[in-house]
Structure 1
Amino acid sequence: METANKTVKELAVEVPGAARLFEKLGIDYCCGGGVALSEACGKAGLSVEAVLSSLEAARQEPAPENDWSRGPLAALANHIVEKHHTFTKAETIRLESLFAKVCSVHATRHAELAEMQARFSEMANELRTHMMKEERILFPYLAALEQAAAEKRALPRAMFGSVENPVRQMIKEHDSAGDALHALCEASRGYTAPDDACASYRELYRSLEAFEADLHTHVHLENNILFPRALQMEAAAA
């Protein structure tokens, strides 16, 4: 049962396909991934043995094309920006428009929609500021840190002191986004559209579910891989 005692986030990094499995099972592997697998299974009402069996099958999957636990930090940061930041920026705009359209027709019969719209808009604005800070400040510094470490030069000076300081704030903001999406999922009964939902209503819920899944991967790459590696690199080079 050694695997059951490992944290979910450790397994998400270590086992090919684990993150995809956890997403399917509803196990939080990004913001709340710091708990043991056995505890996570208990919270989700899942059999530890069944999940371990599925994990063992996931271990046999081919390794991903990009092993971000080993590649350059700058390449991982670029991947996050190009794939996940780009998606998040475009989808928040599209989803805000969908919310406005759906609320204008259905909010009188489904009171939860107005609260969901406000919660999503608040989260979207916070995420835009969050990504801007990463793209303009943190990620460029991590690239400079990596280059200095490779060339055995003194670490670049940063206005925020240790990398630990902005990383702590980024994780806090990730948690806030995760809480918002959890609330949206609950308010929508697991993104289940009501019987009288029109095509736009159903598209809104389908897209919110896809948005949440992408954010889970996005946060996993930062919280569980990029940030820990950056902290280790800074400590080793100090």
Structure 2
Amino acid sequence: MNTVRKIDPLSSVSEIVNNDYRTAEVFRKHGIEYCCAGKWPLQMIIESKDLNAAEVIKELELSIHPIGIPRSLPFEEWDIDFLIDYIVNIHHAYLKKALPDTREQLEKFTEGHHKKYPALTELALVFKSLTLEMLPHLQQEEEIIFPYIKQIAHAYETRETYASLLVRTLRKPVENVMNHEHESVNKILAQMRQLTNRYTAPANSCVNHRVTFSKLLEIDTDLAQHMHLENGILFPRSIEMEKKLLFL
């Protein structure tokens, strides 16, 4: 079954972005204005920039291709190694690109609109703090926390004799991430929701305003799922294994 949504080359660029904010990233890549100057048909803009129409339209259609994660996936039953690999390859990979790209987009938008929307200045600062906190956090998890949890899981499954020493040496980082670092991220997300009225752009806002808020909502949604997998499943399982390994 073909579920690819089609892009009409006779639609205006602004109309295409209004229909799905994800297309904005493709237009930015090709230097196509999609906000106030995006009233011309896509086909006309492509021809004026001497771009390959088929390639641009294909990129746009891929950007809006529906990709959903079933809510019924049995995350709780997954092998620890597989769950960690899923978090790294899905959520970490997404955030490593989305956070710096969206920070740049938000700061550029704020420069031209902060007088009309003063809250944007604080929002940009709050999002900057999220980016500066999350990127080192992801690195710490990938280089320290996750390899440790994989060691713990292996030691637990094989009842290795060194397990209790390993736990006594390194158990604190997992609890610290779960109890402190994620709490800090949740506070930042709460600030963002308040400053954006839960990512609702003003009625008279431009296309770029709505695109920016939609991207912030996308990041918020991803982080909620990401932290649920870690705080609700991965870390409690590892801490429970740690407790049992202490008595081997």
What TM-score, normalized by structure 1, do the two folds share?
0.69
Shift of 1:160: 7.7
CA distance in 2, matches of 1:159, 1:73: 17
- Alignment partner of 1:182 is 2:190: yes
SS in 2 for 1:108: coil
Judging changes above 3 Å, is the alpha-carbon distance between structure 1 residues 141 and 194 closer, same or farther for their aligned structure 2 residues? same
- 1:7-37 CA-partner distances (Å, limit 9, x unpaired): xxxxxxxxxxxxxxxxxxxxxxxxxxxxxxx
CA distance in 1, matches of 2:71, 2:192: 33
- Read off the aligned partner of 1:228 and give its amino acid letter: P
Judging changes above 3 Å, is the alpha-carbon distance between structure 1 residues 150 and 168 closer, same or farther for their aligned structure 2 residues? closer
CA distance in 2, matches of 1:63, 1:197: 33
SS in 2 for 1:167: helix
What is aligned with 2:51? none
Q: Which runs of 5+ in 2 are unaligned?
A: 1-69
CA distance in 2, matches of 1:156, 1:128: 31
Shift of 1:197: 2.1
- Alignment partner of 1:71 is 2:86: no
What is aligned with 1:120? 127
Tell me the matched-pair count.
175
Max Rg structure = 2
Shift of 1:237: 2.2
Judging changes above 3 Å, is the alpha-carbon distance between structure 1 residues 158 and 151 closer, same or farther for their aligned structure 2 residues? closer
Judging changes above 3 Å, is the alpha-carbon distance between structure 1 residues 130 and 63 closer, same or farther for their aligned structure 2 residues? closer
Q: Which runs of 5+ in 1 are unaligned?
A: 1-61
* Percentage of matched positions with identical amino acids: 27
What is aligned with 1:109? 116
CA distance in 2, matches of 1:229, 1:102: 42
CA distance in 2, matches of 1:152, 1:159: 13
What is aligned with 1:129? 136
What is aligned with 2:210? 202
Aligned CA-pair RMSD: 1.9
From 89, 92, 113, the counterpart of 2:99:
92
